[in-house]
Structure formats: structure tokens, C-alpha cells
Chain A
Amino acid sequence: MNSEKSTILEAKNLQVKRGGVSVLDISYLGVPEGEVLCLIGPNGAGKSSLLLALSCLLKSSQGDIIFRGKRVGANYSLSAYRRNLAMVFQEPLLFDTTVFENVAAGLKIRSVNQNEVKRVVEEYLERFGIGHLAKRSARKLSGGEAQRTSLARAFAIRPEIIFLDEPFSSLDAPTRESLMGDLELILHETRTTTIMATHDQMEALRLSDQIAVMSEGRIMQIGPPAEVMNHPVDEFVASFVGTETILTGKVIRRNAGTFSVSVAGREVEAVGDASPGESVILCIRPENVTVSTGFSNEITSARNVFSSVVKKIIPSGAFYKVELDCGFPLVTYVTNHAREDLSMHPGMDITASFKATAIHVIRKKLLSIPGE
């Protein structure tokens, strides 16, 4: 991890059990100061439980939370620790009063003097673009305005760490987009350490310095977004971070710097080191696969060129997701423009290619029981 930044928050051997069943099991998690950590994973992966356990709002069965080197509950009291934090949930959970009073709530709890409250609240109302709503009842806000109020309330206490639990999940797309933009800016300005749970990997990619992929109460992989996206440690992480093509095969030959893998009777070349006979998983991101209709021998740097059949064309926002059959399934994205140029339609023959370097290889051996 980055040694220049000090670790503001650590969790060691953190476990949460509910009815005897383990819902959270974290051996170690360290959060560098000023960074944004996104927890991604499917529903029930333990993202919310981890946020609550880290903020000590959920009693953990065992383990330590360490804030700036001080053990919470031991040489640092729980209430003192909580005063460094703020939390925003999926529901805005506003109080039945005005927007101003809502944003002031945390400050009033801390007995901050009135002039200071007014100054800080006005600043954060402005920052979140809700200054004009100050006197409005919190019950009369739209979903986006309510979540802005909730965020302003959290930031107004100027927390050292802010926890966000799926803050954008119940908002419609344009509202989410504009709010995320504002949050991005404010995080950039304030450099507040942030831990955010989301099931949307695009949100995570956009905001985070680090991504932790969770499943069944455990962190499966943690690292910078590019690393997690391009080098998933296992099939679960790969499929979760949007690697559409996941193939299994056997290494048949080792070449210079590359090796060949037999996948459904066809040969795929990948970069790296693996021994013949070994089982491997090949992950190919759709954006790394190119298609063309030309059967010419045009020189391409791609090592892997396959004739294939278009199986399905699925509109998917700004682009089309195309499922190909090259003997093994392969997924690619094309723009509408490219789709028209190629007059692409299901059943047509097409040439698909991808570079050997575009394949992320997961060696099965590494996935087997540790100690072997």
C-alpha cells in the first residue's frame, strides 16, 4: 500500500455474527487518509455490515477497529470515535424540520455556537446546491434534494471519515449523475477519507482510489480500480467487475513470453507464464475485442484472430453488446456507427480479434487450497 499516506482507519480480524452465522469476516483492512475506498459486491455481500461495523454502529463479535493508531473501545472511547465520522444511508433519513435545521443537526448535537452553525450550514447548503431550499420542510423535497440535504448534513460536521451506504441507489439516472458530479468535486476539495458501498461498478470506478470487491462477508480483492478491473484474482471478481468473457482451457504449449491455450478445440495465445497441462481461466474484457468483416490477410498485431458467427446484438446504452460464437463464446462492444458500417446482424460471419496482452490469466493452481 502507499507508504506516503498514513493509515487513518484499520480493521483487524473483524467478525460480525448474526444468529450464529458469520455475516462479516475481515482479516485486515487499512484505509489510507484522504482516499476514497469503494466497496462493491452483490446484495448481501456484507458491504453495509462492513460500513456499520467500521463506524461501530453494529457490534462486532470480535476484532479491533483502530483509528489513527488508537484502538476504539480500549484507549479511545466509542463516543469520541463517532464524533470523527459521518454517515449517509440509501434513504435520506431526514428529520421532520426544515432543510436548514437538518444540515445543522450534527453541529447542534456538538453544541457549536449559533453564529458558527449558521455560517457552516450556509456554506454546505451552497456547496450542495440547495441554498434556495433552506427554509423548506424536509418532507417536501424531491429524492435528489433530500439526498443532497443528507450529504450536506454529513459534510457539515466536517468528519474525518465519511461513510456512504449506496447513497445514489434510489435516485433516477440524471439526478444521480449531477449529484455524483457534485460529490466528486467536494471530495476532491475536502480530501475527506471516504468509504462508500455501492453495487454499481461505474460509480466505484469514477470515485474511488481503491476498490474492494466483497462476497459473502469477505473482501475478495482490494486494489486500485485498474488493477481490480484488469487483473481480477478469481472468476467471481472477474464476472463482477464486468469481464464478459471468462473461458476455461488447458495450456498446450509454452512459447517465447507467451503460451497457447486450448479452448473448445481452438487455440488462444496469452501472455505470461504457465506450464503445459495446467488449467487456466482467461478473462477478456469486451472493449478489448475488435471485429471486422474483411477476410484479408491484413497485418494485425493481434495474435488471436478467429472467424465467428454473430449470435445476438443487445442494445446497451451508448453501444451494442454483441455475443459471438468462435467455438467458444466471446463478447464485444460496438458503437452504433460500427454496427451500421458492418451491417451487422445475427447469423452473419465476422472476424474477431484480440491481443494476447488483452487477456487476463487466472491460474487455477493459485486458486486451489493454500499450502499446496
Chain B
Amino acid sequence: MDIIIEGIKQAFILLFTLDPEVIGITWLSLKVSGIATLISLLIGVSVGTIIALTQFPGRRIVISLINTGMGLPPVVVGLFVTIFLWRNGPLGFLEILYTPTAIIIAQAVIATPIVMGISLAAIQNLPANLRLQILALGATRLQMVWILIKEARLPLLAAIMAGFGGVISEVGASIMVGGNIKGYTRVLTTATVMETSKGNFDIAMALGIILLLLAFFINAILTQIQQRERPR
């Protein structure tokens, strides 16, 4: 029991004294996962929307692949990103393995199918005639797509939450492609794993609490927007 109380005490001391190392790790986590989510939004929303609005042979197979991708295990992503970025791998010349950029890439790969799958469903769930109504109002194709995305903004917020939530809490890929290098690629999850294995439960718990608070605040803000905008 002592271990837990001591851990919580230590955690709050680290938090409130603004321990530079803890702050650094937190900031890196936020930055890496934030950028990865942003990339996944750009790709996921646009591709998801295109698939939702077009008919082509093999469309169903593509959709089931995306849906499968929503549950992609981070270690598998970590493995493949590592292979690609390995010194003599296909993208080895970039020399970015064990850098924050590598973590961003891996996390973007994890978040993209999640965002894509939710966007696709969100756009498909709009009334079938809405597209025709928008075109009948004189919209160009681009204007129509933009209006549809605006109409689906609430489920799209859920896509952001799911994407960000998925990558900020992910550890497998980050440790494989980032290497948990102190002061460089060490993020909240990888640091927690390391401190736990070293038996430093207090620091591990501090990091865990920060991770939880972070996830909570980001989701609270988005939920706030979502609920304010909710019909009725």
C-alpha cells in the first residue's frame, strides 16, 4: 500500500515542481502524437471522404481493409516502420530511425485507418439526397465535399479523439522506432515502461498520471465542443 501512496506523493511533487525532464517528456509526447494525429486527419478525412462518395470495383474490399486497419497492432506497425527505415531498408537513406520523426511516422500509420474508417462512416451516414441538394444549390464538387465534411463535423471530432487517444497511449511502435533515447525520443509511455522495469514505481506512476490527465483534458475539450454543437 505504501508503494502506491508514496508513488502518488512523488508523482504530484514531480508535477508541481515542474521537473524539467518530466516536462520535456510530456511536451515531446504531445508534439509527436499531435503531429501524427494531424497527418492522419489530412490523409484519413480526405481519402475516407473520397471512398464514401465514389463507386469503384473492389470498394467493399477497400472498406473492410480500412476497418481492419482500425485495429492495427502498434508492434506490427513498429516492426514494419523499423524495417523500412533500417539502414539498408527501402527508406534507410533518410536516416531517421530512432528519431522523433520515426515515431511520428509510426503513429500516423496507426491513427490514419482509425480516422479514415470513422470519416468514411460519418460521410456515408449523411442523408443520401443531401449531396444532390447541395449540388442543386449550385455547388461545385469541391464546395459540395466541404459542406458535407462540415455536416459530418461531430463524428469527425470523434475521429480526432479516437486517433489521438490511440497514439498518445501507444507504446510498442514508439519504443521500436524511437528507441526511448533520454532527452530525444523518450515519450510518456516508453518512459513509463522503462521506469517500471527499473522498479521506480513512483516516477512510473507520475508519468502514468500525466498521461491520463493529458488524455482526459484533450478529450474533455473536444467533448465540450461536440456536446455544445449537438442537436437538441
Q: Does B231 contact A (CB under 8 A)?
A: yes
Q: Does A157 contact B (CB under 8 A)?
A: yes
User: Chain B residues with Cβ under 8 A from A96's Cβ?
Assistant: 150-151, 153, 229, 231
Docked-complex contact A95 and B232, CB < 8 angstroms: no
A282 CA / B73 CA spacing, docked (Å): 76
Docked-complex contact B231 and A109, CB < 8 angstroms: no
Q: Does B64 contact A (CB under 8 A)?
A: no
Q: Does A57 contact B (CB under 8 A)?
A: yes
Which chain B residue has the least Cβ–Cβ distance from A79? B140
**Chain B contacts with A in 175-232, Cβ cutoff 8 A:** 229, 231-232
Docked-complex contact A91 and B129, CB < 8 angstroms: yes
A139 CA / B231 CA spacing, docked (Å): 6
A356–chain B nearest beta-carbon distance, Å:
49
Chain B interface residue count, CB cutoff 8 Å, equals 19
User: Chain B residues with Cβ under 8 A from A249's Cβ?
Assistant: none
A346–chain B nearest beta-carbon distance, Å:
47
Docked-complex contact B151 and A106, CB < 8 angstroms: no
Docked-complex contact A95 and B151, CB < 8 angstroms: yes
A86 CA / B134 CA spacing, docked (Å): 10
Docked-complex contact A105 and B137, CB < 8 angstroms: yes
Given A93-B129, A93-B130, A109-B138, output 19 extra A-B contacts at Cβ < 8 Å: A55-B136, A57-B136, A82-B135, A83-B138, A85-B136, A86-B136, A86-B137, A87-B136, A89-B129, A93-B127, A95-B147, A95-B151, A96-B229, A96-B231, A106-B137, A137-B231, A139-B231, A140-B231, A153-B137
Which chain A residue has the least Cβ–Cβ distance from B152? A96
Q: Does B133 contact A (CB under 8 A)?
A: yes
Tell me which of B130, B138, B153 has the highest count of chain A C-beta atoms within 10 A of its own C-beta.
Answer: B138
A267–chain B nearest beta-carbon distance, Å:
54
- CB-defined A-B contacts under 8 Å, sample of 24: A55-B136, A57-B132, A79-B138, A79-B140, A82-B136, A85-B138, A86-B136, A86-B137, A87-B137, A89-B132, A91-B129, A93-B127, A93-B129, A93-B133, A95-B147, A96-B153, A105-B147, A106-B138, A109-B139, A110-B138, A139-B231, A140-B231, A140-B232, A153-B137
User: Chain B residues with Cβ under 8 A from A57's Cβ?
Assistant: 132, 135-136
**Chain A contacts with B in 21-72, Cβ cutoff 8 A:** 52, 55, 57
A82–chain B nearest beta-carbon distance, Å:
6
Q: Does B143 contact A (CB under 8 A)?
A: yes
B-side interface residues toward A, CB under 8 Å?
Answer: 127, 129-130, 132-133, 135-140, 143, 147, 150-151, 153, 229, 231-232
Which chain A residue has the least Cβ–Cβ distance from B138? A83
**Chain A contacts with B in 119-166, Cβ cutoff 8 A:** 137, 139-140, 153, 157, 163
Docked-complex contact A87 and B132, CB < 8 angstroms: yes
User: Chain B residues with Cβ under 8 A from A86's Cβ?
Assistant: 136-137
B60–chain A nearest beta-carbon distance, Å:
18
Which chain B residue has the least Cβ–Cβ distance from A57? B132
A104–chain B nearest beta-carbon distance, Å:
11
User: Contact check: which of B137, B153, B229 meets A109 at CB < 8 Å?
Assistant: B137
Chain A interface residue count, CB cutoff 8 Å, equals 24
User: Chain A residues with Cβ under 8 A from B137's Cβ?
Assistant: 86-87, 105-106, 109, 153, 157
B208–chain A nearest beta-carbon distance, Å:
38
Docked-complex contact B232 and A139, CB < 8 angstroms: yes
A89 CA / B229 CA spacing, docked (Å): 25
Which chain B residue has the least Cβ–Cβ distance from A48? B129
A91 CA / B127 CA spacing, docked (Å): 9
A163 CA / B229 CA spacing, docked (Å): 32
A93 CA / B137 CA spacing, docked (Å): 12
B201–chain A nearest beta-carbon distance, Å:
48
A337 CA / B151 CA spacing, docked (Å): 55
User: Chain A residues with Cβ under 8 A from B147's Cβ?
Assistant: 95, 105
A239-256 interface bits toward B, Cβ cutoff 8 Å, 1 = contact, 0 = none = 000000000000000000
A61–chain B nearest beta-carbon distance, Å:
17
A95 CA / B151 CA spacing, docked (Å): 7
A55 CA / B138 CA spacing, docked (Å): 11
9 residue pairs, one from A and one from B, having the closest CB atoms: A87-B136, A139-B231, A106-B137, A93-B133, A83-B138, A57-B132, A109-B139, A109-B138, A89-B129
B40–chain A nearest beta-carbon distance, Å:
24
A202 CA / B127 CA spacing, docked (Å): 29
B121–chain A nearest beta-carbon distance, Å:
17
A305 CA / B72 CA spacing, docked (Å): 84
Which chain B residue has the least Cβ–Cβ distance from A105? B137
User: Chain B residues with Cβ under 8 A from A93's Cβ?
Assistant: 127, 129-130, 133
B154–chain A nearest beta-carbon distance, Å:
8
Which chain A residue has the least Cβ–Cβ distance from B143? A109
A271–chain B nearest beta-carbon distance, Å:
47
Which chain B residue has the least Cβ–Cβ distance from A55? B136
Which chain B residue has the least Cβ–Cβ distance from A139? B231
